[in-house]
Chain A
Amino acid sequence: MGGFLPPAERRGSALVGLYAALSLLLLLSGDRIPAATLRGIGAWMFAPFDRVVLTVDRLAAAWRENLLLHEKISQLEIENQRLRLSGVENDRLRRMLDLPRWRGQLLRPAEVLALGGESLPSSATISTGRRQGARIGDVVVTGNGLLGRVSEVFGSMARVVLLTDPNSAVAAEVESTSVLGVLRFMNLPHPRLVLTGVPLSDTLKLGQRVVTSGMSRRYPRGLPIGTVSRIGRDAGGLTQEIEITAAARLSRLRHAFVLTPPPLPEDTP
Chain B
Amino acid sequence: MKQIWTMFVFVAIVLLLRSTALTALAARGVVIDVLVFATVVWALRYGAPWGASFGFVLGLAADLDSVHWLGRHALVLTLLGYAVGRLSRTLVRDSGRTQLVLILLGTLLHQTWTVAFEIGAVGGWPYLVQRVLLAALVTPPLGVLLLTLLRLGTGQPLFGHAVVESRPTS
A residues lining the B interface (CB < 8 Å): 8-9, 11-12, 15-16, 19-20, 22-31, 33, 35, 38-39, 42, 46, 49-50, 53-54, 57, 114-123, 161, 165, 187-191, 250-252
Q: Say whether B37 faces chain A, with CB atoms less than 8 Å apart.
A: no
Whether A27 touches B71, Cβ cut-off 8 Å, given contacts A15-B52, A187-B124, A251-B27, is yes
Interface size on B, residues (CB 8 A): 49
Closest to B67 in A: A123
Docked complex: B5-59 residues within 8 A CB-CB of A: 12, 15-16, 19-20, 23-24, 26-29, 31, 47-49, 52-53, 55-56, 59
- New A-B contacts (17) at CB < 8 Å, excluding given A35-B70, A46-B19: A15-B53, A16-B48, A22-B74, A23-B74, A23-B78, A24-B75, A26-B60, A28-B71, A39-B65, A42-B65, A115-B23, A116-B66, A117-B23, A119-B31, A189-B123, A189-B125, A252-B24
Closest to B77 in A: A23
Docked complex: B73-131 residues within 8 A CB-CB of A: 74-75, 78-79, 82, 85-86, 114, 118, 120-121, 123-128, 131
Q: Say whether B138 faces chain A, with CB atoms less than 8 Å apart.
A: no
Contacts of A11 on B, CB cut-off 8 Å? 49
Q: Say whether B64 faces chain A, with CB atoms less than 8 Å apart.
A: yes
Contacts of A121 on B, CB cut-off 8 Å? 23, 27
Contacts of B137 on A, CB cut-off 8 Å? none
On whether the beta carbons of B123 and A165 are closer than 8 Å, the reply is no
On whether the beta carbons of A23 and B49 are closer than 8 Å, the reply is no
On whether the beta carbons of A118 and B71 are closer than 8 Å, the reply is no
B residues lining the A interface (CB < 8 Å): 12, 15-16, 19-20, 23-24, 26-29, 31, 47-49, 52-53, 55-56, 59-61, 63-67, 69-72, 74-75, 78-79, 82, 85-86, 114, 118, 120-121, 123-128, 131
Q: Which of B64, B66, B78 touches A118 (beta carbons < 8 Å)?
A: B66
Assembly CA distance A42 to B78 (angstroms): 20
On whether the beta carbons of A24 and B121 are closer than 8 Å, the reply is no
**Chain B nearest Cβ from A182, distance in angstroms:** 19
Assembly CA distance A231 to B22 (angstroms): 32
On whether the beta carbons of A19 and B16 are closer than 8 Å, the reply is no
On whether the beta carbons of B79 and A20 are closer than 8 Å, the reply is yes
On whether the beta carbons of B124 and A114 are closer than 8 Å, the reply is no
Contacts of B114 on A, CB cut-off 8 Å? 118
Closest to B31 in A: A119
Whether A12 touches B12, Cβ cut-off 8 Å, given contacts A26-B71, A117-B67, A189-B121, is no
**Chain A nearest Cβ from B107, distance in angstroms:** 14
